[in-house]
Structure 1
Amino acid sequence: MKFIPAQLATLFQDGASHRNIRFLLKFLGMLVGVIVFYSLLFHFIMQWEGREFSWVTGFYWTLTVMSTLGFGDITFTSDLGRLFSIVVLLTGIIFLLVMLPFTFIQFFYAPWLEAHSRSLAPRELPPATSGHVLIIGADPTALNLARKMRQYGHAYALLCPDVQSALALHDQGYAVVVGEHDDAETYRRLRAESAALVVALDSDVRNTSIAFTVREVSQHTPILGKVDQDESQDILTLAGCTHVFPFTSMLGQAIARRSLGGERRSGVIGRFSSLVVAESPVMGSRLEGKTLRQCGLRKAVGVNVVGFWERGRFSLPEPDLPLHSGMVLVIAGDEEQIRSYDAFAGAPAKNDAPVIILGGGRVGRAAAEQLLQQGQDYRVVEKSPRQTGPQERLVAGNAADLEVLERAGIRQAPAVLITTHDNDMNMYLTIYCRRLRPDMQIISRATLDRNIGALHNAGADLVISHASLVANTVVNLLSPGKVLMLSEGINIFRTPVPEGLADKTLLESNIRDETGCSVVAVDSGQGLRINPDPGLPLRRGAELLLVGDSASEQRYLERFGGGEG
């Protein structure tokens, strides 16, 4: 109830609401006039019938008849009186039962509800707000980023121009504000001058407008702009963007780097100083069919197997678990150790057949360029070929057509990269290609994180999400040197040695068993010690670098705390 006065104040400040209230008051005045007029007529007709009643009785009779209550305690005996009663009754039906509710709802209650809705979707952040992230956009990628901000404890606000959309997002638990992207006053109300980052995730043209408008308010606030066209990168930088990322191209490159068509067995997914984290498919390697204990990777090449992906599920390594072709190992080490691992596991089987790219859009073209840099031949299957590129590597036709896929070389290809922007189509093509080639590597694009599991279940060996790529980039910018998000929820994070683990060895700390995180490096102030010996004592003042998924990281923080960051 305490919010009602504020909502009424907001309602009365609106010009349209003023007009509505005036109309409602005029209607009520007319209604009161009709009641007074009928009450006067009641007295005249009753006097004509030879009866006398008080003025209060006249109003009482008029209201009971107009409201159709009709108690029957006061009635006319003459035809004139009864005819008058019918007129009063019909007038009451029209004015009280039809027009009054409609007028009240239309000109007061509905505007009041709208004012109440606007109060739930604020247009301004509190004056003391600082260190927050402004996310411009309300598409699934922006919503995924908002969830990541909440997960990592970053204050954020989603800017949405439409009140109804903002209310729907508010009901889902998002911190949302209403405003126009091209109005400098919007960013003043959202405290852009004290924000940690402004993230523009719209089109190139609109992102340019956003950056230029934010710069009217603040010259120092970092702005991250998403760019789709290569030629737009310089324009966004000139408009004021601090960071410009071609996420669609980055997605295509990431997909291509993880294919088995090249000479390297592993693909780097993240670097933290001299620490390198890579993914390596077991398919076709010398590790297939063996256990980690039998492989002896740590002793042979020094790498640490942090965990493995299996159909979209990340698990901790078990020494006696057999490795099969559906697994993708996550390994950590320095650059030399990763190269040694590649030699130890064996390069992918020599296959001169081209990698197949299904979809010739921006992601597909970026994947093609990356494969070309890796020295890998490819074929692009595109239903409506319009991109520029080598025509000899283009196969025109529907990717769901077996004859088209056979012309592209599906029977011999070492891998197929599915890059269309339609998740349903990606799932269809994944199932189709897996049925045609059970032994082939399939890497698929996902627009949303919620589609990752379904694509893995459909048969994809690896799935890379556009939404995760954006969120990982933003989180890494906000926490430089503290957190590095890798792929689909795998993180590297830095934390001081907990007081309870000081002077214990890594083996005695039992960190992996208790939390699911793996210690991949120790920084004692003299450089990183990558993949330290399990018997290494953990000294006070040193820092640990750990790798794990989001749940593992949360368990570590709950068990040991974050220390002094």
Structure 2
Amino acid sequence: PPEGTTISLLHSMQVVVETFTATGYGSDSPWQSPQMNVLVMLLDITGVGLFFLALPAVLLPLFKEALSPSLPTTVGEDLSDHVVVCADTTRAEAAIDELAANDVEYVLVVADRDRAADLSEDGYEIIHGDPEDIETLANANLPEARALVADVSDRVDASIVLTAKELVDDVEIISIVEDPDVASYHRLAGADHVLMPRQLLGRSLAEKITTGVSTDLGEDVHLGEDIEIAEIPVRQGSDLVGRSIVDSDLRERYGVNVIGTWVRGEFETPPPVEKPLERGTILLVVGSQAGLERLKEAAFSTIRRFRRGKTVLVGYGEVGQTVAEGLSEAEIPHTIVDRRDLDVVDVIGDATDPETLERAGIDRARSVVFALPDDTTTEFATLVVRDLDSSVEVIARAEKTRAVAKTYRAGADYVLSLATVSGRSIATRLIKGEEILSLGTNVEVVRTTAPELTGETLRETRVRERTGCTVVGIERDGEMVTDIDPDTEFRADDAVVIAGTDEGTNRFAELFG
């Protein structure tokens, strides 16, 4: 307006709004109506507001993509005999870790750009692309690969299988399914192997129960009043973590013999004596009560002695059903607890309620298996069990890998994550061509004669290397000798007590009997 013109307060406010919103003064017309001045101000503010709302949704992604580092979309032509992994799950990362540990090359195909960038920064070999696109699989050099793993989702995996078969017909394909009902469709699409992670997890949890210790010593022969067989979990912070059985000098320091180990769902007997012990490893040991107590302190753990009783199975979903099937096959009595009123459920109630666990017979139980899908519930229920009974074995499922440590801290003796089991199963299928898990492996403690050992030392006979058995005692002159070192010499009238699998003890009898 011309100098000296009088304008209203509302008109002045309109000019101020136009100044701050940078909309200019083209609307500075001599509106006579206050309503029109207010309308113009609202339009100015709304227009600028919409612009700034659209900025992060439209412009910022464009700037981010322009400034972000480029991701590889193809592999080198010389890459062959590798594994093409089409996945976006922690299971894939566990499988890749196993492949890398066995010097098997791989390439991870990731569709999401941000996820691909994160994995690339973490050191994974990746290419960015849609795994359902034949061009992407060609860029991954699938025709020269040893196998393809599809683990995105049930429907996407089926599409990936079809795409792979369109590109190359003879490559081995492993497909991961969450819903067992769709497994047949994946086989129809062309998958060579269909893995169901929750069933694998259930089988592994059941195996921890079905892998037992049996003794065949005879009524008149005993290991000794203070000699026991027990399981001792190795906890975080223990002096044993990171040290092998040989380096730990368990026999010399504690007077115990390790006859087997549980590590991430796999039981090994004889144990790998040169391999560093991990947190969560369970040692199956035989020794004196005093030695076991000293080892317990070194492992920051508790001694779980074998006792009779049922197994309490908490949770009857897909994992729980598989556990129950494994227990039934092994003829191990069990009580099923679930919140649902199902025909097979023995006790209906909440796993975190002490009264529910007491009704299930927790005080008389040999083991408790938590097959619950919620990690928080499992952790709390583990605390409840430990408050009720400190000696019962607690075996737990973890849905997420990060929950494993917390469940151990809550008091569980054995925790296995879904990602670990399925990842290792995938890797074992690719490396060894067979399943990783099997039910019913038993450790036997047997008294036998061994005349072929006469005059030789334990070191010279190499019993463990040749048979897989561990000598845990020698009956000599009516007494049981358990303080055995590599230089112990066998006598003609000795009876030997050994621990090992049925196959191992038979092999011992063939060689030294």
Partner of 1:122: 72
SS in 2 for 1:248: helix
Q: CA deviation at 1:165?
A: 2.0
Contact 1:311 1:462 in 2 (8 A): no
Distance between the aligned counterparts of 2:231 and 2:197, measured in 1? Answer: 37
Q: Is the 8 A contact 1:263 1:348 kept in 2?
A: no
Give yes or no for the alignment of 1:177 onto 2:119: no
Q: For residues 12-161 of structure 1, what are the structure 2 equivalents within 5 Å? A: 111=62, 113-117=64-68, 120-161=70-111
Query: Displacement of 1:252 after TM fit?
Result: 0.8
Match among 313, 321, 330 for residue 357 of structure 1? 313
Higher relative contact order (CA 8 A, sep 6+): 2
- 1:315 to 1:369, Cα distance in 2 relative to 1, 3 A: closer
Partner residue in 2 for 1:374: 330
Shift of 1:125: 2.0
Query: Is the counterpart of residue 265 in structure 1 residue 217 in structure 2?
Result: no
The answer to whether 1:323 aligns with 2:323 is no
* Structure 1 Cα separation of the partners of residues 158 and 82 of structure 2: 21
The TM-score normalised by the length of structure 2 is: 0.58
Q: 1:316 to 1:417 in 2, by over 3 A?
A: closer
Larger Rg belongs to: 1
CA contact (8 A) 1:416 1:440 kept: yes
1: CA distance, partners of 2:400 / 2:58: 43
Q: Given the superposition, is the C-alpha separation of residues 400 and 507 from structure 1 closer, same or farther in structure 2, using an over 3 Å criterion?
A: same
- Structure 1 distance, partners of 2:359, 2:383, is 19
- Note the alpha carbon deviations across 1:473-495, whole angstroms, 9 max, x for none: 233233339x99789xxxxxxxx
Unaligned runs of 5+ in 2: 1-54, 215-225, 233-249, 260-268, 297-304, 439-456, 472-485, 488-513
Question: Partner of 1:72 in structure 2?
Answer: none
How many angstroms apart in 1 are the aligned matches of 2:85 and 2:105? 11
Q: 2:418 aligns with which of 457, 460, 466?
A: 466
1:368 CA displacement: 1.2
Mapped contact 1:309–1:315 kept (Cα < 8 A)? no
| Residue 226 (structure 1) aligns with | 176
User: For 1:255 and 1:454, how far apart are their aligned partners in 2?
Assistant: 18
SS at match of 2:363: coil
Deviations 1:289-320 (A, max 9, x none): 9996877898xxxx745569897146798988
Could you tell me how far apart the structure 1 residues matched to 2:133 and 2:91 are? 23
Query: CA offset at residue 170 of structure 1?
Result: 2.1
Give the CA deviation at 1:152. 3.2
Counterpart of 1:206 (choices 151, 156, 162) is 156
Q: Partner of 2:170: helix, strand, or coil?
A: coil
Q: Partner amino acid for 2:382?
A: T
Unaligned runs of 5+ in 1: 1-103, 267-283, 328-346, 488-504, 509-517, 522-527, 536-565
Distance 2:284 2:392 in 1: 25
- Spell out, residue by residue over 1:336-373, the C-alpha distance to the aligned partner (whole angstroms, 9 max, x if none): xxxxxxxxxxx95442xx42222222111111111122
CA gap of 1:107–1:464, structure 2 versus 1, over 3 A, is closer
Per the alignment, in what secondary structure is the counterpart of residue 258 of structure 1?
Answer: helix
CA distance in 2, matches of 1:415, 1:289: 13
Alignment match of 1:195 (pick from 145, 148, 171): 145
What is the identity, as a one-letter code, of the residue corresponding to 1:323?
Answer: L
Hey, what does 1:432 align to over in structure 2? 384
Q: Say whether the 8 Å CA contact 1:416–1:442 is kept in structure 2.
A: yes
**1:287 maps to what in 2?**
229
Shift in Å at residue 265 of structure 1?
2.2
Tell me if 1:423 matches 2:392.
no
Identity, in percent, stands at 25
Give the conservation status (yes or no) of the 8 Å contact 1:138–1:158.
no
Matched-pair contact (CA < 8 Å) for 1:141–1:448 = no
After the TM superposition, which of the residue ranges 226-235 and 158-167 deviates more from structure 2?
Answer: 226-235
- Select the structure that is richer in helix: 1
| CA–CA separation in structure 2 for the residues paired with 1:254 and 1:105 | 48
Question: Where in structure 2 are the equivalents of 1:493-504 lying within 5 Å?
Answer: none
* RMSD (Å) for aligned C-alpha atoms: 4.5
- Residue 322 of structure 1 aligns to a residue whose secondary structure is helix
Cα offset for 1:205?
2.8
2:227 and 2:287 in contact (8 A); partners too: no
Q: 2:423 corresponds to which letter in structure 1? A: A
Within the candidate set 448, 455, 474, 2:407 is matched to: 455
Partner residue, 2:354: 402
Distance 2:293 2:277 in 1: 11
1:246 aligned residue = 196
- In the alignment of these two chains, the number of paired residues is 353
Cα drift, residue 257 of structure 1: 2.3
How many Å separate the matches in 2 of 1:324 and 1:421? Answer: 35
Change in 2 beyond 3 A, CA 1:357/1:193 = same
CA distance in 1, matches of 2:73, 2:109: 9
Q: 1:120–1:422: structure 2 CA closer, same or farther, 3 Å change rule?
A: farther
| 1:383 is the counterpart of 2:339 | yes
1:182-219 per-residue CA deviation (whole Å, 9 max, x = no partner) reads 22222112111111221122333332222121111111
Q: Displacement, 1:167?
A: 1.6
1:476 to 420, 428, 444: 428
Distance 1:416 1:357 in 2: 6
| Matched AA of 1:126 | G
Q: Do 2:382 and 2:407's aligned partners in 1 also have CA atoms closer than 8 Å? A: yes
Quickly say closer, same or farther: Cα 1:121–1:368, change in 2 above 3 A. Answer: same
Report the TM-score, using the length of structure 1 for normalisation.
Answer: 0.53
Give the distance between the partners of 2:360 and 2:470, measured in 1 at CA: 47
